[in-house]
Structure 1
Amino acid sequence: MRALIQRVTQASVTVDGRVIGQTGPGLLILVCAMQGDEDSAADKLAARVAKLRIFRDEQGKMNRSLVDTGGGALVISQFTLAADTRSGNRPGFSAAAPPAEGEALYRRFAEALGALGPQVATGQFGAEMQVALINDGPVTIWLDSAERG
């Protein structure tokens, strides 16, 4: 699985003009399940995100995790993280997991993250969503459970 993580002061997701998920200080997490990913990939990625030390401590250093700060998370499905842009001008997305598998792994990730302590809100899988955020720092981190190149 792949994730693009943004430290935020706030974030929200809107579908059809209605806010369906939001968080205060914490993380906005864009997630993509890849072909061949299994439940263990979602669990591994959730644990890594929860423990990633990207929040400031008392000295202003990035030394605290989402769990340490008690922050929340907004988890959004984002199949375009699987984009292959190596040739041509149109990205290919065949490396993304099929929709049914992708949705199951997306839900598994959100549940696994919530089980580790953070309050987790989600978007709507497969929907056209508008995501609003205030990036804090800015801090943006790319993670891949398989550590693909």
Structure 2
Amino acid sequence: MDEQQRILQIFQSYREVNQAFFQVMKKVAQQHRITPIQLIVIRILKEHPEIKLTELAEKLNLGNSTTSGIIDRMVRDDLVCRARTEADRRAMTLTLSDKGNTLWEESNTTRTLLYQPLLQLSEEDQQQFLRIQTEILGILRKVKEDGAI
């Protein structure tokens, strides 16, 4: 197998695994009557309470206006609360509402159940997978930073 084929094989394998994870996440979101991106936003807000919109947009790899639209819908659905910061009255922080927190707990339970078959991999295989994935991420981040061809 030549270099191009090996690279393509790695890329294709990653793409298929990524799509499969997304399909399960989509199923979780649908069961809880939200979109996959809203599920991701809920997770980020759970991990980073009182985050600013620009920080959220960075974590989502989306623009501020796109992220703002997502948040507008989530505020309308009472999943997210906006609050002005004490330091800068123009700045807004985002937190999960009680309904958003409840939805996180419920969706987390669903997600855990749906992803549980992954634990069929031996602990050694799991550790090897995580090691290889970390190595791949490091390589790709370096390529991105260097930008060299």
Answer with 1 or 2: which has the greater Rg: 2
Q: Is TM > 0.5 for Structure 1 vs Structure 2?
A: no
* Structure number with higher relative contact order (C-alpha < 8 Å, ≥ 6 residues apart): 1
- TM-score band by shorter chain is under 0.3
TM-score by length of 2: 0.27
Higher normalized helix content (fraction of residues): 2
TM-score by length of 1: 0.27
